[in-house]
Every structure is written in structure tokens, then in C-alpha cells.
Structure 1
Amino acid sequence: MSNKENTIFGIYPVKEAIRSEVTFDKVYIQKDLNSDKLTEIIDALEKDNVTINIVPIEKLNRLTRGNHQGIVAVTSPITFPSLETTVEAIIAEKEFPLFLVLDQISDVRNFGAIIRTAECTGVDAIIIQKKGGAPVTGDTVKTSAGAIFKIPICKVDHIKDAIFYLQGSGIHTIAATEKTESAIYDLELKKPLAVIMGSEGKGVSKSVLNLVNEKAALPLLGEINSLNVSVACGAILYEIVRQKSL
């Protein structure tokens, strides 16, 4: 799946995609281009919390060789079920449901690798924020090895609201962070659980850390003080698998 297959450009094709309720990941709009039709599109996209990037024309020319008319949209190859419906269905079916919350993961290959590991370790659903995170692109699909089509991915307006909802649904929340003395191996993980992983640069945001039930770290025995987020996520998820198998 190439990025070109996920790209729509031009005012009328994008408007038609909006009417057809196509799922957008990102939309690029030409800087300093005044157009009533573009303003109408922007208003419609903002209502759906679609990420809009105002960029120079050179960026649009790189994205497509066609007549883009000042707008290029990147669509998603998957649909995103609602958080509430997904969580309710999983809780009704599973004794120890497992959710993975990604707080602003920005690299599409990390995102794809995490999805692949999540599917392999029995994660029931992944939760991401509508704005600020990595889009679902052809690279994401490829890196996930197709796992992206096998696990529900829910988009929410704010990660904090998702945390509140999960906790209200009886899900214990654990954030992966180095800002704690608690090792992941010391925690009881055989329970309804949501693991929160943070962005590559900043980790889990402070506002989210203040909400979770527990924090957990992985031991680092070398001189480098951090792990790649997809590697850290895999280590944590397999500790959950280990404890569930006991």
C-alpha cells in the first residue's frame, strides 16, 4: 500500500470524501491561499477534529503531481470504532481485558511496530488521540505486518478523557515512565488493565501521569537512559503475558 493510494487532492474530491464520511488522518492546505471553498472544507474538518496543516505550496507539490488546488488530504486505510462501544463489548467478553493507550506516538514505523506487538500479545484494543499522533499510512500498515486490520483502534479527542472512561469502567491504568521507582515486574498485572505508552521524545505527558493508578519502569542496566518506545512496549506487554500464564 503506497502513500499515493491514501491521498486525495483538489477541492471537489476532498469535499466529496467528506460527504462520503471518509476517515482522514491529515489534511495539508496551502499557506496564504484565500478561498471560500477551502474555508468551508476547513470548517467541516475541524468539526471532526481532523489534523490540518498549513504548508507552503512546495509541500503540496511534493505530495502530488496533480492539480491540488491548494489542498491534499491523507486518508486512513482503516475505520476507527468508538471507544465506548469497543470497551463495553470487550469488558463483557473478557475476564482480564487489556487496552493499550498511546499518548502522542509520532513515528509511523514505531506505531506500526507497536500495533504488531499488541496483536501478538493479546491486546484487545488500542486507543490514540485524534490530533498530534502518527497517522495511519501505508508505512504503518506495512510495519504492522497487517496486524492493523486485526485489532480495533479507537480515536479520542483527549487521552485524559479516555483514561477517565477506562477507570470508570473498572480498568486499572498503568503508565510506562522512568519517573518512578516501581519496576514493571513488581506490579500485579493479571487484572483488567490499560497500559499507557508515551511519545518518543517526551514520554507520557505529565497531565496523564497525574491520572493513572500506577506508574512502572523497565530496568536499564547500560549507559543509555531510554529505550525505543516500541521495544519498551513489547517488554511490558510480554510481562503481562507472562503473569497471565502463571
Structure 2
Amino acid sequence: MAFIKKSTNSYQSKKNMIAGRNPVIEALNRQENIDKILMFKNASGDAIGEIRRLAKALNIPVQYVPNEKLNSLTNILHQGVVAFKSAVIYQDLQQVIDWIVGEGEAPLLLMLDGVTDVRNIGAIARSAVCTGAQAIIIPDKGVGALNEEAVKSSAGALEQIHICRVSSLAKAVDDLHLNGIRIFASEMNARKKIFELPLQEPCCIVMGDEGKGIQSFISKSADEHFSIPMKNNFDSFNVSVACGISLYEAMKQRL
């Protein structure tokens, strides 16, 4: 990974933060691993236009916020723009699928829809690596930042698995289907149990937010819905635990 040098412009290194228009443009031009950019909603000028253009080309989400939000993040001159470095390298979904198939393996992928807690994401990545999943698919918005805390929670697993960040989960589902990868969506009340799925086949397991679950458009596109049986009438498993159970069943079937 390349790092930009400090310049005379506003630059904030604390917690992988880059503040200021020129430093952010420099980081984008060097193709730093940027997780997201926060921008003052009324910001304008040539540099702002350049940041938006580069962010779009690199598939980096831009979130528009009040100036007070930016002021709360740093006490230096941010010029209406703050970027956060990612602790992981994002990869192209199709390229990862091609690599997996080229290795002679059946894809076992995990898609996260609305999982925002970085500790959960870290624990999920750890289970994914331990059970042989090759990649985790996340949206560019509505997911916890893959920062140093997430990497620490994963015990380094986030650095050992392919992370595919996509601009549209719906398109990702279509791409998976075009590659012959079946979509198995977790649903609390589904009749089919996780152990009844053909998980030895090329597949992607989809896990959603514990409260809202999986978005309806993904649920409708799924090939199968499954639930994880529980002995007692309790609420549900934590999402990271549910991922671990599901991926372990997939590994068991593939052994």
C-alpha cells in the first residue's frame, strides 16, 4: 500500500483520516484504499468536482454531511472534505469469482446486507476464513467501516480474505447468478433448514441486519431461503454467530 506524504495543505493522520481538498485529491490519484469520503453538503469549486469524479471512478462512497459534523472530526482546516482510509484492500467481484474458479474451487461467498457493527464484521470475517469461504461481499453504503477496529476484531482475518465492495447488491446478485452461483438467503421463519441446503454447490450465503433482515429485493432474487433451528423460543442468533453456524455447515458438507 502506498502512503501519501504530508504536504503544506491540511492533512490529518489520526485514525487514518485525511482532511483537506488537495490531500484528498492526492490520495485518490495515488489510489489509496479509501473507505469513504465525508463532504460538506454545500461544498463547491473545481477541487470538489474533481473529488467527486475520482470517487465515482474508484467506486468510493461520498456522504454529504453538515459542516458541524466535519468540525467534530478534526480541529484543523478540512475545507469541507474528510476521507477515511480503509484497513483492507477492496477487490472486484468478477475478478475474485474468476480467480476462485481458476483455482478449481466451488465458490463459497458471503454477502452482508446492513451489518453495521464493526465487531460483528470482524467476527464474521474470522469465521469465514476458518470455514473456507473465499470472499465477503459488502455494499458501499450501509455497512460498518472496515477500519483498524474491525481488523483487530477479526484477528487479522479481514486481511486474509477477499473483500468485494459493490455499488449495488442487486447487481451483485445478478452477477452471481450469471456465474452459476446460487443465492441462499437467511430468513428467520423459513421452513428449509440450513443443513437441508446443497452448500457443496457454488453458492453465496446472504445475511442481513438482525433487526431489519435482508432487503426485499434480495429476498425475492434468492434461490432458497433458510433458517437456523433453535431449541428454545428465544429471539435469534447474533448475526456473527449465525454466519459462523451457516459457514460451518457449508464446510462440513464440502469436507
Q: 1:177 is aligned with what amino acid? A: E
Percent identity reads 39
- 2:157 pairs, out of 141, 147, 150, with 147
| 1:55 equivalent in alignment to 2:75 | no
Residue deviations 1:186-232 (CA, integer Å, cap 9, x gap): 22222222111112331111111111111110123334322211111
Q: Deviations over 1:128-170 (max 9, x none)?
A: 1222222211111111111111111111221122222222222
The answer for the alignment partner of 2:199 in structure 1 is 189
Cα deviation, residue 47, structure 1: 4.3
Q: Which runs of 5+ in 1 are unaligned?
A: none
The one-letter amino acid paired with 1:72 is V
Could you say what secondary structure the match of 1:210 adopts? helix
**Aligned residue for 2:111?**
101
State the match for 1:211 in structure 2: 221
In structure 2, what is the Cα distance between the partners aligned to 1:63 and 1:227? 34
Task: Tell me the C-alpha RMSD between the 2 structures.
Answer: 2.0
Q: Within the alignment, does 1:226 sit opposite 2:236 as a pair?
A: yes
CA contact (8 A) 2:25 2:50 kept: no
Deviates more, 1:39-48 or 1:181-190: 39-48
Displacement, 1:34? 4.5
Matched, 1:243 2:253: yes
The equivalent residue for 1:123 is: 133
Pick from 10, 29, 40: which aligns with 1:19?
Answer: 29
Letter in 1 for 2:224: E
1:78 aligns with 2:64: no
Work out the CA distance in 2 between the residues paired with 1:4 and 1:217.
Answer: 42
* Unmatched runs of 5 consecutive residues or more in structure 2: 1-12
Provide TM-score, normalisation by structure 2: 0.87
1:67 is aligned, of 40, 65, 77, to 77
1:108-131 Cα distance to aligned partner (Å, 9 max, x none): 111111111101111111111222
The SS at the match of 2:221 is coil
Q: Give the TM-score normalised by structure 1.
A: 0.90
SS at match of 1:15: helix
Q: Aligned partner of 1:233: which letter?
A: C
Question: Which of 142, 165, 168 lines up with 2:178 in the alignment?
Answer: 168
Q: Is the 8 A contact 1:49 1:131 kept in 2?
A: no
The secondary structure found in structure 2 opposite 1:226 is: coil
User: Aligned residue for 2:210?
Assistant: 200
Q: Distance in 2 between matches of 1:163 and 1:187?
A: 18
Give every structure 1 segment of 4 or more consecutive aligned residues whose post-TM-superposition deviation is greater than 6 Å.
none
Q: CA deviation at 1:54?
A: 2.5
Q: Number of aligned pairs? A: 243
* Post-superposition CA distance 1:76-106 (Å, at most 9, x none): 1222121111101101223433111112322
